[in-house]
Amino acid sequence: MLLKKLIQFQWPGILWAIMILILTGVPGDFFGGINSSWKWQHTDKIVHWFIFAVFSYLLLHGHRRQYPGIKLRYKPVLLALALGTLFSAFTEIMQQHVFRGREGDFADFFANVAGTLSGALFFFTWYRKK
């Protein structure tokens, strides 16, 4: 019953997590057409930030849908931050040790964590205004 309820409300976040795993597992040369290494690195960090911002936002949105009458406290936000950080570390470890043509990167990890924080902050700020 708990799993069914979790999936019922968290399916957007779960699907987004699957998409993150697919995207982080695709070899870097698959995206080709990038001329400058600097431009790619800059864009890469923005992409990492964005996908993890959306991830933490979706987790909190699912929590809000699951418990609509309960005032949002810091515990779900901290849980979303912890899950985002752990998932970020997991994806970077997978890139380093499992996925071919990918490398784990601390800068990517920090961009992921910054995105996780940003998504949670955006959700919390948006929710508090309502």
**66-123 pLDDT, tens per residue?**
877 777 677 888 889 999 999 999 999 999 888 887 888 899 999 999 999 999 999 9
The predicted structure's pLDDT at residue 121: 92
In order of 52, 67, 86, 102, 115, the CA distances from 123 in angstroms are 13, 15, 19, 31, 12
The predicted structure's pLDDT at residue 36: 47
Contact 65, 10 (CB under 8 A): no
CA pair distance 59, 64, nearest whole angstrom = 9
pLDDT at 27 over 50: yes
CA atoms within 13 A on the CB side of 102: 23
Question: CB under 8 Å to 130, separation ≥6 — which residues?
Answer: none
> What is the token pair recorded at 23?
């995207």
